[in-house]
Amino acid sequence: MSIYREYDIRGIYEKELNKESVTKIGYALSSKISGEYVAVGYDARSHSPILFEYLVSGLNAGGKKVLNMGLVPTPVNYFTNYQDWNGITPSASVMITGSHNPSEYNGFKITIDKAPFFGEDIYALGRECEAMQSVSEVERQVTEIDAKSRYIDFMVEQFAHLKGMKERIVYDCGNGVAGIVLPEIFEKLELNTTGLYVDPDGTFPNHHPDPSVEKNLNDVKELLAKEGDIAFAYDGDADRIAVLTHKNNIKGDMMALLYSMKMDKPTVVGEVKCSQVMYDELERRGGKTVMYKTGHSNLKVKMKEVNADLACEVSGHVFFKNRYFGYDDAIYATFRMLELVQDGIDLDAELARLPQVFSTEEIKVETTEAQKFQIMDKVKELLQNPPASFPKIKNIIDVDGVRINFENGWGLVRASNTTPVLVTRFESTSKEDAALYESAVNQLIQTAKDSL
């Protein structure tokens, strides 16, 4: 059951994701899909095409026909749900991807009726698969579709006004699937670009494809310093982006502030890790903000619920409903950022105008799958009557873990839904207070751990 996660299905190839388990997943999933067709694509890992065949076998056995888009980024997979393919609109899509996980991992991101399939639905699917007998093979029913070309044409049309921009753009695909579409879009828009690690290679020979980890940006930073004006980097399946200038590594919450400059009083959904500066500044500009749970599936659902224009995660998931479809797409986010540059917006100057705060990166506290939620329950209990030395609490937001608002900042503790860790983050208007909040909350976590 450990492969069935909050946002997706994820496990180690052969050990956990094998012919038996994946065929069962396809068969069980088919009963959740009302229509006849499911679109399936996969990332650059060597075992992704093998898992594709296993999944197809299960979906076909469950009465579904498959539209095969082949090797594509995750956003292209989402994109197919909004397209007509010779009179067929798929009722669901599945992306076979291990995202930014090590190369032995793989998994499935599932969309049904244009909405994420996640949370209890995934856990229930897992229980169904665990109880299932073997699945009989039936005749293979697969139709090839050229989703990649359709997506590239769409992007070139949407951003035709960027054609011939003079700024020097450098980018790092990290040997992930961004390289399948991005260079061709750049070329058709006649942009001045230099790419690193563009060819997909599921062994990720140059660096791990996770742009939220600073060391993975070293090569593109070096290239930016030598011959670029702006830089972009992508994770393994191209649904997360890093944006770099000569002065800043712009996190997702600050990207949202920049993107929203060209929107009229937008509604923006942020996660609990987003800077208070983002929420305050958007409200000051006349926008509306909603703080919600971390996780791409959670944010997509909340966006639809509140009819938001934009959503973001600090890690670089950016979701546009404004002029787009409302899912996270790092390729699309690239061109929306280039629009700002073309319009004469100085990204660094805009960030420099914001109130200065001192923020930590995400800090991960190692624990176990069994204990992480128990520790969180104990932390919540301790916060009801904190030690006398604990900084003064203004209020607590418990939409996802606890975000403790102090007099000069905030601290966050939440259990990761994907790994056996607690995630913490701290921010304050003073460096000393940020350190104080971090120390006090860490002591509280340790007390909670010791009590188990």
| 350-398 pLDDT per residue, tens | 999 999 999 998 899 999 988 999 999 999 999 999 999 999 999 999 9
* CATH code, domain carrying 444: 3.30.310.50
Query: Mean of the pLDDT values across residues 341-354?
Result: 98
Provide the domain limits for residue 59: 9-145
| Whether residue 136 is found in the same domain as residue 41 | yes
135-165: burial string, b at 16+ Cβ within 10 Å, e else:
beeeeeeeeebebbebbbebbbeebeebeeb
What average pLDDT does this structure show over 155-178?
Answer: 97
Catalytic residue among 45, 240, 296, 317: 317
Residues 140 and 154 in one domain: no
Which tokens sit at 141? 């029913």
Q: Measured between alpha carbons, how far is 47 from 412 in angstroms, rounded to an integer?
A: 37
pLDDT in the model for residue 359: 93
The yes-or-no verdict on residue 418 having pLDDT over 80 is no
pTM of the full structure: 0.95
Among residues 298, 330, 352, the one where a domain terminates is 352
Same domain, 135 and 198: no
Q: For this structure, is 10 an active site residue?
A: yes
Is residue 2 situated within a structural domain? no
Domain boundary among 82, 113, 145: 145
Quote the tokens at residue 83. Answer: 């397209």
Residue 31 annotated in active site: no
* CATH number for the domain harbouring residue 52: 3.40.120.10
Q: Whole-number mean pLDDT of the chain?
A: 96
CA distance 256 to 262: 11
Q: Could you say which of 48, 91, 93, 99 is catalytic?
A: 99
pLDDT at 107: 96
In a domain, 116, yes or no: yes
Q: Among this protein's residues, is 99 annotated catalytic? A: yes
Same domain, 411 and 263: no
The pLDDT > 70 percentage for the chain reads: 100
Residues 141 and 186 in one domain: no
Alpha carbons 16 and 153: distance in angstroms, whole number: 38
Beta partners for 336? none
DSSP 190: T
Q: Are 134 and 156 in a shared domain?
A: no
